[in-house]
Structure 1
């Protein structure tokens, strides 16, 4: 049994994570960041839920870049092959659910 309070979680570096669970090869991790990640494509599907803060999620469709503004409580689902990068506006805490070992 675990109780996690995302608002109090910080990490020593941007995109540092607290491993919450591994569900038969699917990881559930809480990330803290104040810096953008990098453009990437996951090797599986990804669920990205903003628990605290605001994140500009940049993604490409048909070679065209789009930006979705994600507020606290918003969820971004990245299909297989979805190229994307998260840019937090200040500090953000994000719950990420994805295949173990994914980028």
Structure 2
């Protein structure tokens, strides 16, 4: 049993993470960042939950770039093959659930 205070978590580098759980190859990780990630496509599905802060999520649908603003409590689901990149507006804390070893 462990309690993690998500809003208090901070890493020494952008996208640094605390591993919360690995359940049969599905990882749950808490990330802290103040910088954009990189465009990528995950090996499987991804659930991206903004716990604290604001993130602009860019993604491509049918090859067309789009974006949405995610506030604290919002969830972005990336299905297999969804190209996307997260751009925090200042500091953000994000819970990511995805296949182990995914980008």
TM-score (norm 1): 0.99
Query: For residue 14 of structure 1, what is the aligned residue in structure 2?
Result: 14
RMSD of aligned alpha carbons: 0.4
Any runs of at least 4 consecutive aligned residues in structure 1 with deviations exceeding 2 A, and if so which?
A: none
Q: Measure how far apart 1:62 and its partner are.
A: 1.1
Q: What CA distance in whole angstroms lies between the structure 2 residues aligned with 1:46 and 1:23?
A: 14
Give the paired residue count.
103
Q: What CA distance in whole angstroms lies between the structure 2 residues aligned with 1:23 and 1:80?
A: 19
Q: Measure how far apart 1:19 and its partner are.
A: 0.2
Deviation string 1:9-66 (CA, Å, 9 cap, x unpaired) is 0001000000000000000000000000000000100000000000000000111111
Runs of 5+ unmatched residues, structure 2: none
Query: For residue 58 of structure 1, what is the aligned residue in structure 2?
Result: 58
TM-score (norm 2): 0.99
Query: For residue 47 of structure 1, what is the aligned residue in structure 2?
Result: 47
Query: For residue 96 of structure 1, what is the aligned residue in structure 2?
Result: 96
Query: For residue 81 of structure 2, what is the aligned residue in structure 1?
Result: 81
Q: Secondary structure at the match of 2:7?
A: helix
